[in-house]
A and B are shown apart, each in its own frame.
Chain A
Amino acid sequence: MEILSTRNLTKEFPGVLALDKVNFNLEEGEIHGLVGENGAGKSTLVKVLSGVYPPTHGEIYIKGEKISFNSPKDSLNLIGVVYQERELIPYFNGIQNLFLGQEKSRIGFLSIKEMMEEALNFAKKYDLEVDLNTPVCQLNSGKQEMITILKILFREPKIMIFDEPTAPLSLKESEILFNLIRQLKEEGITILYISHRLEEIENLCDRISILRNGKMVCTAKKGELSQKEIIELMIDKEFTDQYPIIDRTIGSDLLNVKNYCCIKEGIDDISFHIRAGEIVGFGGLVGSGRTELAKAIFTGTKKDQGIVYLDNQNLKSKKPSHNISQGLVMVPEDRRNEGTLVQLSVSENLSLPHLNNMSSFGFLNFDTIKEHVNNIVKALSIKIFSLKQEVWTLSGGNQQKVSLGKWFGKDAKVWIFDEPTRGIDVESKREIYLIMQKLAKDGCGIWFISSDLRELTAICNRVYIMKDFKIVSEFSKPFDSKALLSAMLGGNIDG
């Protein structure tokens, strides 16, 4: 039975055709995967289906009846959406978030006890261990995600849409989520599941639809398409190799960290080294301390013990600016808040770290800036229509290129990349891998934090696995993925 279908659904934004005559349907009780590159229109489709945006043309039918939502309010009890950004009220606890928008009350006064009991019973039904009494801002991202899902479920929607739900989750948490989704399917809820991770889609989904440039390219049953075929359909190009490799020669130590301790960040006695021409992976679960370690060293947080050598110089600084001038740069995980200034233009972002060399007596030298910026845009093939375009208007992949491109021209020796490919499309991922390898080939050392084992094993020379803020093991090529995985999970898989 068809529960939802769209006919020629079109959404136009000024200058962009985000959805182009999309015909799409959901069978009742199925898990339906939706894939596509960033900017293919997946999020727009979700927002049109849930009433956040009205469609420009076309119709949506639910159980054969034409419907039109004017606001998310209208769709709440039919279609629940778990968005990429967690939609929770930070200082509210789980119960308050659960009931948000449909509180139980008598003449306007909240029935607090009643809501508490109902919420606890509801959480028990799905067997999820989450603390519903703590303000959600004090919970970790996995727990927050669970509360978000509970909150949506609580409205008893017929259709649930998950938009990249596993991005912030650890492996263990992802497993819990998949079981939950299967449980929902058994209850008869229809699920639309959006992800960049094709394995997840293959394991979970009954059917797959592929969006490309706002068009629905195809819908196929489970097993009808191989991963390679799916990727080909997504990127509109002959798919050659997801992990391109550039040969590089390995030199001497560029970064050497010995017995590094920073109690404040929870780091106790860590030693490792990165050589010229090497890409060194840092694998581990979310919360294993990889980002904290990188940030502590890059920002020069006061260390309690240990020595950091950068190109044989003792790195003693207490601030990023000193480290940058010594040749250590970082491309942070959160590109929208930490990696770029999204309200500023591409040109302003790319030139920001170089203004000292591009100004005279404090006045900016626009010709030099333009030349520099143009070179980077060309070198990284950043897709923009103007240098003055603001960064928030770019796709994730292009934002990431701006985030790393700002360091070009700094003669950096060691580059820290923190989850550089998270949430960006397949084609951009390839380009990022190439950029990292070119840097290594030119004699830089690459410190590569990633939770994606496949990319780590594909492009790294060595991989350190971190667990509970410690390096638990080191692997060299050729990698044994199973050994890496079990090192990450450790003896205690519940961790």
Chain B
Amino acid sequence: MDKGALKFRSFFIKYGTLLSVLILLIIFSLFVPNFSNPQNLINILRQMALLTIISEGFTMCLIVGELDLSFANVASLSSVVVATMLVNKANPLSAVLLTLLIGFVFGLANGLLITKVGISAMIVTLATGIIAQGLAFMYTKGVSVYGSMPKGFLTLGRGSVGPIPSLVIIMALVVVFFHVLTNRTKVGRYMEATGQNPTAAYLAGISVNLYKILGMIFSSLGAAFVGILLTSRLGSATPTGGAGFLMDGFATSLLGMTVLGLGRASPFGTFIGALLIGLLNNGMTLLGAPYYIQDITKGSIIILAVAITSSQSRKLGK
């Protein structure tokens, strides 16, 4: 193989997903009316905010080498719990904290069952996810929760600072938080070491189980936070409100794993993955494509992105 082709390939592996984001941006700006006006670009960021936040949490459990199938249902449960409390005039701050505590408990339970009892993450989180869904129905008796909620709480999901919606600001903070955590802190480095080679990490004196549990907690906590934001955005909640996040969250993180070209989960990658999905959703809606076409396109893009990086890296022998 000549050098040029090799260079081209490694370039593709490294920046393939970033490149597709760019290409998508250009195509949509050229062919979709109103796509590139600033208001729409802000809309895109607002629309993708919740998905990004929940995927960032999920990414943390991928980083420690585990899996979480429960996060979407934990988001649903959190959403109805916080809504019910607020409609019943609870103190907003304690309602929010209590809901986050629910997320924390789910993450802790997932983590303990995986590390201490030794059940595989897929089974544990499938089961706890079903439990969370059941609890959400039990709590609401199966109906949606509405009623008046404190204004301050609603600003969380609806307000804005100048032209920037608060959700976008929250999203940015979450992404930066996780990015700094994984790249700049001891905790983050230990989580990555745990995910990549648990034996080596253990022998280096790292409490592998602790960091696995932490990864699971981040995933559930992120989900609970998104449940709260969802309620705040909608002003109401349904017991299946978070269900849609499962597939999209997976899609986002999987796309994210192609961003650095290494098959390696990262908060930055996940953000790019979310951006790709956000752009697609928005652009295709503006084009008037029906929702099923959007789903088919999203699925195809995931396969394409993963196929390109994996086949290219195979050719490079990595």
Contacts and interface: CB of A to CB of B under 8 A. Distances in A.
Interface stretch (B140-148, B203-211, B289-297): B203-211
Contacts of A87: 197, 199-200, 203-204
Interface string B180-219: 0000111101001100110111111110000000000000
B199 A110 contact: no
A52 B203 CA distance: 8
A102 B185 CA distance: 12
Contacts of A76: 204-205
Given A89-B193, A89-B197, A92-B196, A100 B186 contact: no
A63 interface: no
Contacts of A385: none
B197 A101 contact: no
A334 interface: no
Interface string A77-104: 0000101010111111000100011110
Contact of B205 (A72, A89, A112, A263): A72
B14 interface: no
Contact of A108 (B1, B187, B193, B200): B187
A83 B203 contact: yes
Nearest to B181: A108
Q: How large is the interface on B (under 10, 10 to 19, 20 to 34, 35 or more residues)?
A: 20 to 34
Interface residues of A, number: 28
A108 B185 contact: yes
B234 interface: no
A81 B187 CA distance: 24
Interface in A43-88: 52, 71-73, 76, 81, 83, 85, 87-88
Contact of B186 (A81, A108, A263): A108
B97 interface: no
A264 B202 CA distance: 38
Contacts of B205: 71-73, 76, 101-102
Given A76-B205, A110-B189, A85 B184 contact: no
Contacts of B203: 52, 72, 81, 83, 87
Contacts of A151: 204
A73 B193 CA distance: 15
A106 to B, nearest CB: 10
Nearest to B204: A101
A102 to B, nearest CB: 8
A478 to B, nearest CB: 40
A316 to B, nearest CB: 24
B181 to A, nearest CB: 9
Contacts of B26: none
A96 B204 contact: no
A88 B202 contact: no
B264 interface: yes
Given A109-B184, A110-B185, A100 B196 contact: no
B203 to A, nearest CB: 5
B200 A110 contact: no
B262 interface: yes
A480 to B, nearest CB: 37
B264 A91 contact: yes
A101 B206 CA distance: 6
Interface in B148-198: 184-187, 189, 192-193, 196-197
A100 B199 contact: no
Nearest to A50: B203
Q: Which of A76, A100, A263 has the most CB of B within 10 A?
A: A100
A105 interface: yes
Contacts of B204: 72, 76, 87, 100-101, 151
A102 B262 CA distance: 26
Nearest to A112: B184
B185 A109 contact: yes
A100 B1 CA distance: 37
Nearest to B193: A89
A83 B200 CA distance: 10
B202 A100 contact: no
Top 6 A-B pairs, shortest CB-CB distance: A101-B204, A73-B205, A87-B200, A101-B205, A100-B204, A89-B193
Interface of A: 52, 71-73, 76, 81, 83, 85, 87-92, 96, 100-103, 105, 108-110, 112, 138, 151, 263-264
21 contacts: A72-B204, A76-B204, A83-B203, A85-B199, A87-B200, A88-B200, A89-B196, A89-B197, A91-B192, A91-B196, A91-B264, A92-B192, A100-B193, A100-B200, A100-B206, A102-B205, A103-B186, A108-B186, A109-B186, A110-B185, A110-B189
